[in-house]
Structure 1
Amino acid sequence: MEQRLANSWRMPLNDNKFIEAALLSDLRVDGRRPSDHRKLTIKLAKQDGSAEVHLGQTHVVTFVTAQLVRPYKDRPNEGSLSIFTEFSPMADPSFEPGRPAESAVELGRVVDRGLRESRAIDTESLCVLSGKLVWAIRVDIHIIDNAGNLVDAANIAALASLLTFRRPECSLAGEDGQEVVVHPPEERDPIPLIIHHLPIAVTFGFFSIENLLDA
């Protein structure tokens, strides 16, 4: 987890000391042993491009949508991938309704960089008409319950949604071959995204005494 995101959720001193004492006793506050991972559950909805992830008690829901847009001038043959986050006030006492907090924005940036900088999604395959129309893929991440490892849960949920998402197939028509036809799913099967690999986020917490490590 990046430092700015960690700082926005700074732990009270008493909580930090309690966790250190538990780890020194080979226990965690949720009852796990030091080497035990949080239980991971992934549910895929009937609708393509949506997923629900439980990582321990952390609960995240994601949705993927797409629309045809003009490409960026410096990348005329590439589509785009955008990550947006929404923090429910019920998920954590520190989350407030209205304008997204800095922690929500930073969470989206961390997940976004992990996917884009690793080139997990083939953005060139999202090009429909060079310099004119490309697919813009949007991932909406909704935080339902925050109980730790939020970056990891959001990352896994985003990947699950992207893996199940299908975009409409397009073809070119017209006398000049520049007319884009978007085919409904009843006419042509939607197309999955080309995903080269799955970058998985893993968050660690370091403690100052006896080289303690929590994940």
Structure 2
Amino acid sequence: MDTRLANTWRLTVNEKRFIETALSSGIRIDGRNPFEYRKLSIKFGREDGSSEVQLGQTHIMGFVTGQLVQPYRDRPNEGTLSIFTEFSPMADPSFETGRPSESAVELGRIVDRGLRESRAVDTESLCVLAGKLVWAIRIDLHILDNGGNLVDAANIAALASLLTFRRPECSLGGEDDLEVIVHPPEVSDTVD
């Protein structure tokens, strides 16, 4: 874990006592009751595959894109799913610009694991031409404000973005019926 982020978890004796007293009294710093959820707001963007999630004071934007790529050799009939997280320094003073921190990478892994294990994305349905072309789905999560509970907010943003994502329809054509034709969204309903 990032050293600066890890250091924020070291508490003084007074801080620990304050937390224990607050918990036993049934109060939280943000004024919520012990079992009260953070307020959730989900906005879907104008573009397919985009969403904006606010969970309490945490604010995340999600974007899903797809492109045709060659499949991995050991999975010729499956597309791919990748999660990328970006921690804005404006979201939290402990976040830095540049390469993704260990915390950003770990958050991406947690979201990735949740999507894969829940089978939210059927990677076999992303196959266009076995062994030749599959869809590579990329989810970008931009943390704009860190008000706590990043894992839940990031998972919700990823799922909300996936809900609105429409991969283009493809068909095979050409002389040998092995040329992949990608159809724009406005004509995809008529593709057989």
* Length-normalised TM-score, structure 1: 0.82
SS of 1:54's equivalent in the other structure is: strand
Q: 1:16 to 1:120 in 2, by over 3 A?
A: farther
Q: Is the 8 A contact 2:41 2:53 kept in 1?
A: yes
CA–CA separation in structure 2 for the residues paired with 1:174 and 1:156? 41
CA-CA distance at 1:8 after TM superposition: 4.6
* Map of 1:11 onto structure 2: 9
In structure 2, what is the equivalent of residue 144 of structure 1?
144
Matches within 5 A, 1:24-35: 24-35=24-35
Measured at CA, do residues 190 and 102 of structure 1 come closer, stay the same or move farther in structure 2, by a change above 3 Å? farther
C-alpha separation in 2, matches of 1:17 and 1:92? 25
**SS of the counterpart of 1:82?**
strand
4+ residue stretches of structure 1 with deviation over 3 A?
7-10, 14-17
Deviations along 1:78-121, one digit per CA (max 9) or x if unpaired, are 00110000000000010011111110111101111111133221
Instruction: Give distance in 2, aligned partners of 1:145 and 1:154.
Output: 12
Give distance in 1, aligned partners of 2:128 and 2:76: 10
The residue aligned with 1:175 is: 175
Per the alignment, do residues 21 and 142 of structure 1 end up closer, same or farther by CA in structure 2, a change over 3 Å counting?
A: same
Over the matched positions of the two proteins, sequence identity in percent amounts to: 72
- The answer as to whether partners of 1:172 and 1:181 remain within 8 angstroms in 2 is yes
| CA distance 1:146–1:175, change in 2 (3 Å) | same
Q: Which runs of 5+ in 1 are unaligned?
A: 192-215
Deviation at 1:152, TM superposition (A): 0.4
- What SS does the aligned partner of 1:30 have? coil
Amino acid at match of 1:164: T
2:120 aligned residue: 120
Conserved? CA contact 1:8–1:102, under 8 Å: no
Q: Deviations over 1:159-206 (max 9, x none)?
A: 000011001110000222110000112322499xxxxxxxxxxxxxxx
Q: Distance in 2 between matches of 1:88 and 1:35?
A: 30
Measured at CA, do residues 158 and 89 of structure 1 come closer, stay the same or move farther in structure 2, by a change above 3 Å? same
Supply the distance in 1 between the matched residues of 2:85 and 2:59 (Cα, whole angstroms).
13
Q: Quick one: which amino acid aligns to residue 37 of structure 1?
A: Y
Q: Is the 8 A contact 1:65 1:137 kept in 2?
A: yes
Contact 1:19 1:29 in 2 (8 A): no
RMSD: 1.9
Counterpart contact for 2:66–2:135, Cα < 8 Å:
yes
Equivalent pair of 2:5/2:94 in contact (CA under 8 Å): no
Gap regions ≥5 residues in structure 2: none
In the other structure, the counterpart of 2:101 is 101
